[in-house]
Amino acid sequence: MDFETLKQIYRISVESFLESAFDKCADNAVTLVGRYIALRGGHRWRALVAAAAGQIFDSNSSEIVLPGAAGVELSHAASLVLDDLPSMDDATTRRGRPCAHRVFPKWAVDMAPVFLVTLAYKLALANPLASHERRVRSALVVSHAGIEMIAGQSSDVLSTVAENDEEKMMTRYRQKSGALYSASAEAGAILCGALPSCAERLGFAGMHLGLAYQFLDDVADATADVKDVGKDTHIDTGKLTAVNLYGVEGTTKRSFEYQQQAIEALQGYGKEADCLRQIISHASWAPS
């Protein structure tokens, strides 16, 4: 099966699983916000990473990882709601539609991230196909990523071009972007029986994939239009980004270098890692 077909099949599986999860929740304004931001949009890169990492250790990874992968997507959706708020980026568009805070009551949007993260853990911890130990270990990995993301977002809000601190910017990028990719890979591996050292190795690959993605996102913010990426661009003007430090060409080159480092982390694995290699090569902000 070619990569694009495999990607589409798994995206449909995640979407269907999330639809079912929302159907079981109380029908209220907060749930509507959750549906709006979490469904019908996005590549599902993080879910794909989790499944592909798990496939290295179990050929049935798609089913085993699905609840956790869907949970990761909900955690990502929660971060998008927060990123777009007037108190953060005050964005207008996300995934080609108006941002949630421009459609729903403020109180419902404020509650939605808590709802999404709580639902994420409920789905992941209720996974009937993984042992209790694996479920808990994977959930702890994702919870650590959530704490890192908050630290990264806190730094991002206060960032300015005048900061001109490469080390601080890279720490921020590892936290706000790399951490969830890393957790997706590590958690997927854990759910499918990977030894701790192997799971950490997959987490390293995921981190570098996340950095590559963030660098390409910086390029998109500086050069693309809303219709190209489905969200506001030039929104990072005034913040320190990779483009400020390295220029568009230099940032693109460094993104490719991070992709290569992620692929190199998979040395020693055979065809069972090919899906993850393709994800690393293909992941970008380009429209789905």
231 and 93 in contact (C-beta within 8 Å)? yes
Q: Which domains does the chain have, with CATH numbers?
A: 3-281 (1.10.600.10)
Burial of 57 (0-12, 13-18, 19+ CB in 10 A): buried
pLDDT at position 284 is 66
Radius of gyration for the alpha carbons in the chain, expressed in angstroms and rounded: 18
How far CA 218 is from CA of 155, 208, 264, in Å, comes to 16, 15, 24
Cβ atoms of 77 and 21 closer than 8 Å:
no
What is the model's pLDDT at position 287?
44
Chain centroid to CA 185: how far?
11
pLDDT of residue 233: 87
Report the alpha-carbon distance of residue 23 to residue 268 in Å, rounded. Answer: 43
- Residue 288's pLDDT is 40
Q: At what angle do helices 45-55 and 196-223 cross, to 10 degrees?
A: 150
Report the SS3 class of residue 97. Answer: strand
Predicted confidence pLDDT, tens digits, the chain (288 residues) = 677 888 889 999 999 999 999 999 999 999 999 999 999 878 899 999 999 999 999 988 999 999 999 999 999 999 999 999 999 989 999 988 999 999 999 999 999 999 999 999 999 999 999 999 999 999 999 999 999 999 999 999 999 999 989 999 999 999 999 999 999 999 999 999 999 999 999 999 999 999 999 999 999 999 988 877 888 888 888 899 999 999 999 999 999 999 999 999 999 999 999 999 999 998 765 544
